[in-house]
Structure formats: C-alpha cells, structure tokens
Structure 1
C-alpha cells in the first residue's frame, strides 16, 4: 500500500488524526496509510478485535466508543486536529431504516458537533455513490441530482449526512468522498459476488451492458487523504475507476482466475426479482446470499465519473486488472 499520497512534511508531530470505522475495510486502510507515513492516529471502535489489535501494533491509539453516543464521541475527538469519519451502517440486509438515520446521520452530527467544540481543523466524511440521485444507465459526476425517494435507507442517510457536512464549512475544512462499489482484500460485501463466481455458483449474469462502478480499496484510502489535504472545502469527490461494464468485469474476472465466464445473460427485471427472492430465502435460513436485491440495484447503475479526483487531487487509480488479481489471490488464500 502506498504510504505517501500527499505531502506530509507539514504534519505537526503532536497532531492527532481520528479515524472512525477503522475496523472496516476502508477505515482500516486509511488508518494504516496514515500510520505508514508517521502520523499519530487514534481509532474509535465499539469493541476490540484482531483488526484493532493490528492497528495498535502499528502504533495507533485505541479508544472505545460509538458514534451514536455523544459523550464517547467527544472523548475521542478531544485533542484531534483531523477526522476521517468512516463509521456507518452499510449492511444491505438491515431493514430498519430508522437505524440508518440514527447511526449514519446521527453519528455524523455528533462528530461534527464535537469537532466544532474542540476546534478540529479538517473533517472528511466517507459518503457513497448511493447518495447521488443518478438514474440507472446515466453518466453522473459530482453535480448529479440529489437523493430521490426510490433510494434505499443507506443512500438517503449518506445524502443527509453530506448536507450536515456542507453546513459546517464555517467552522472547519470539510469534504466528502463518494466511493463507487469498493472491492479489495478485506471486503465483506461485493466480494461475496466474486466468491460466488470463483466457487462456480454464478452461472448467469444480468446487466451485462450496463456500467459497473468500482473502486479499489487502496484508491479510496489514497483519495481520501488527498481530498482532505487538497480538496475544496464543502465539496464532494467521486472515487471511481474508469468505467467497465458488468460483462467486461466478469470476463476480466474469468481471465484473472482461470475460470470460464458466465454464458447466460438474464433480463434485468428477472435478476432483481431473483436476488430479492434469494435474499428472503437466505435470511429465513440465517445465511447471506452472494448478492442481495440492494446489490443487484447498484450493479448496472449509472456511469460514475471519478475524473475530478484525478484532475484536482492528482489521484492515480490502480490498474484494474492488477487490483482484481490482488483481490482474487487474497480470497483464494483465505479459503
């Protein structure tokens, strides 16, 4: 993992950077990248485990707390100059939409209020392309229309959180990044689709000609650091690799893994209905399917343009085939 995405020579040795959600793939990647360039990092986690232990071994300070608890948030923020807010409820199988508001919107509000109180200088919010209202099949950049009523609870919560962040420009430098579907070692969501393919459980695909918005985890971490250091306050930056289609993705995956690509292409409506039914049956059996209806709706969505991050932040995206190869190797080694 690259450890110097921006100029860190001006980093004060006593400056502390808080990372929430560091037990997740993206938050953990950001924390490791910061530690790799010699910064003081504080991670906030609900519980201690292998991921937090690894970060502590690398030099991170661990504080216990939840973003929904204003008191523990204040304790974590005190003494910090920068915040990377990555903690969020992302689970596509979570049907209680009130929890998205409580955790994602409420947690962001708690962090911003604490940041104001303690004079935090810079704040990055980890948003998502789900917060953008782009129609399936369209081309979308940072100016895409806002949240629409058809969006799931997660997308709405991210849009509302971005609104809170943008309203804080009077107090600190704030920026949001909107990653596409994140993949890479440590992934727990999109990787299920890759696993299903590798195990021969995905003989058919849908949305073959639709764009598939993807971004490698290291690019999200590097892009986040660059956005906080170089980004325009109050702005958002889409993080997405150059567009490929769903069909091209599975062809690349087949070549990388040495397997045959799916040969049957289903109509979109059948794929979404099938994913929904698969989700219901799997949940009844207390097992998670490789693809949910939520994922099916995001696959084959808009063509999200991540070029602004390249132009303004000088983010260079990882070669897609190389990133996919690393992901496949990590999965094969884990199994």
Structure 2
C-alpha cells in the first residue's frame, strides 16, 4: 500500500482491532527533503484518520528517540525532557517530531494512541540496512577506520518488537515510551564488535571538523551522482551529542525486556555475514 493513498490506508485498517503505524521514510539524506515530510507527517495523519474512522481499539505509533530532548548536562534523556522543533537536526528528525505531535494530538482528541520511541535497534533482518546496521557492516568490512566522540543507545530489535506489543497491551493512551537499553560511546561499540568478531577496533578519533568536511564533500558528490553519501552532514551534526536515553519508564510500565546488547551485536554480525552483506575474507 501507499501511506499517501487514502483508499489504500482505509483498506489496510478495515476490520482491524489494533493498528501499528511503523512505516516511515528513514533517510538522513534525501535530494528532496519535502518527501520526508509528506510521508512521515502526511502519512501519519492519513493512517490515524483512517484508524479513527474504522473504530480501532488501539493505535501504536512508532516515533523515535530522535524526536525527544537531550539534556545538556549529559544525563540520559527521558520521555519528559523538554524539546521543541528547533532542537531537531535535519529533515528526518524534524518530520518525525512533527508526526509525533500529530499522533499526540489525535490522542488528545480521543483516539486511543500510544507512542513508542525506539532508540537504535540492532539485530537480524536489517535488510536495508539502517544507519546503525550500516555502521556494523562497515566494521565487518574493515571500513570503520576512525570514530567520533559520540554515543548511542542500543537495543535488540527483538525487544523493540516486543515493546510494540506490550505498548498495545499495557501502554497508557497519550503517553510515550522509550524502547531502548544500553548507552554506549562509539568507541565502546567498536570494542564490543572487536570482542565478538576478533577484528581490530578503530584506534583513531577524528575531530568534528574533519568529519564535517568529509561529509560536505560526500554530499556534493551525491547530488551530482544521485547516490546517497556514505556519511551525511545531518549524521555528523547529530554526532555532536551523545544520544543517551533511559528506558526506565518502558521497563517499569510495560515490562520491556532488556536483552544484553552484546547478544544483539552478535546476532547482527552473524546475520549480515550469512546474508552476503560482508565480502568473503
């Protein structure tokens, strides 16, 4: 179906009890950033309107921790950390922030919507792959030569899937739940991948301005060639902050599982190798 085709969306929710709106245009770089807004904001509105008309009993809207606030003092962010549109870096985050506001607006009007905010899911079946999965593939291919002073909250993708089901069963209408697990610096992620694979972790930490210059050149080439850059300016700008968050609310209220992140990374590396994402060595 097509999120921007009302008839297609209406058919998808007809006779359905619970709607999980997971679909989104997840790109940190796009030739036309308005595409992200049309799909992520307009598509969300279309799904929620159709769900309301169909009389569903619950909607779980998949947002992202990228739409949440990050405290300046280094403390992990929560669902309640203050945030506004001007805090959003790049068109993807901006579109997801606005889409989340649409979802919460529908909840305020009476539609039974629960919002989940996954962090960086890791594990098998990362077909595209996601930016986090691409980082793991780059490590396995020996292309992860250096790191930046940044960090992520990693979570096993299986726990994210379970978190969606738990949100449908136990989530409070109009509430947000961070589906995350462990906060790790990029250096720490490299060390874990090294321990799992036996490969050497990156030893060099590059300055922010070097990464910025490289991304600028890659984006210029991308606009000429039409292929996405390996590293986008948005990704570099995002890296200036450690994307650390607390899943305590989801663990407490939903019973979100906390599978060891090492297992998630092991599952991801095994899947990428088994499915041809890594060159034979």
What TM-score do the two structures reach when normalised by structure 1? 0.75
Q: 2:141 aligns with which of 199, 211, 223?
A: 199
1:142 and 2:79 aligned: yes
Equivalent residue, structure 1, for 2:159? 219
Cα pair distance change 1:266/1:92, threshold 3 Å: same
Equivalent residue, structure 2, for 1:8? none
Matched residues in 2 for 1:153 and 1:200: separation?
A: 30
Deviation at 1:76, TM superposition (A): 1.5
Structure with higher strand content: 1
Equivalent residue, structure 1, for 2:97? 159
Equivalent residue, structure 1, for 2:174? 234
Structure 1, unaligned runs of 5 or more: 1-64
- Tell whether the 8 Å contact from 2:155 to 2:264 is kept in structure 1 after alignment: no
Q: 2:14 aligns with which of 78, 85, 89?
A: 78
Deviation at 1:105, TM superposition (A): 0.9
Residues 143-187 of structure 1, C-alpha deviation per residue, up to 9 Å, x if partnerless?
A: 122233252111122122122212223433211111112222232
Cα pair distance change 1:162/1:302, threshold 3 Å: same
Matched residues in 2 for 1:287 and 1:154: separation?
A: 18
Q: Provide the aligned C-alpha RMSD in A.
A: 2.0
Cα pair distance change 1:110/1:286, threshold 3 Å: closer
- Tell whether the 8 Å contact from 1:124 to 1:177 is kept in structure 2 after alignment: yes
Matched residues in 1 for 2:160 and 2:118: separation?
A: 7
Cα pair distance change 1:178/1:94, threshold 3 Å: same
Matched residues in 2 for 1:204 and 1:253: separation?
A: 14
How many residues align structurally?
269
Q: Which structure 2 residues correspond to residues 1-335 of structure 1 after superposition, within 5 A?
A: 65-134=1-70, 137-149=74-86, 150-169=88-107, 170-187=109-126, 188-189=129-130, 190-207=132-149, 210-282=150-222, 284-299=224-239, 300-335=241-276
Residues 122-157 of structure 1, C-alpha deviation per residue, up to 9 Å, x if partnerless?
A: 001110111123257552100122233252111122
Matched residues in 1 for 2:209 and 2:76: separation?
A: 21
Matched residues in 2 for 1:201 and 1:271: separation?
A: 15
- Tell whether the 8 Å contact from 2:178 to 2:247 is kept in structure 1 after alignment: yes
Specify the SS of the correspondent of 2:256: coil
Deviation at 1:265, TM superposition (A): 0.8
Residues 233-279 of structure 1, C-alpha deviation per residue, up to 9 Å, x if partnerless?
A: 10111111121111111000111111011111112332233233234
Cα pair distance change 1:308/1:274, threshold 3 Å: same
Matched residues in 2 for 1:236 and 1:126: separation?
A: 10
What TM-score do the two structures reach when normalised by structure 2? 0.88
- Tell whether the 8 Å contact from 1:140 to 1:304 is kept in structure 2 after alignment: yes
Residues 16-53 of structure 1, C-alpha deviation per residue, up to 9 Å, x if partnerless?
A: xxxxxxxxxxxxxxxxxxxxxxxxxxxxxxxxxxxxxx
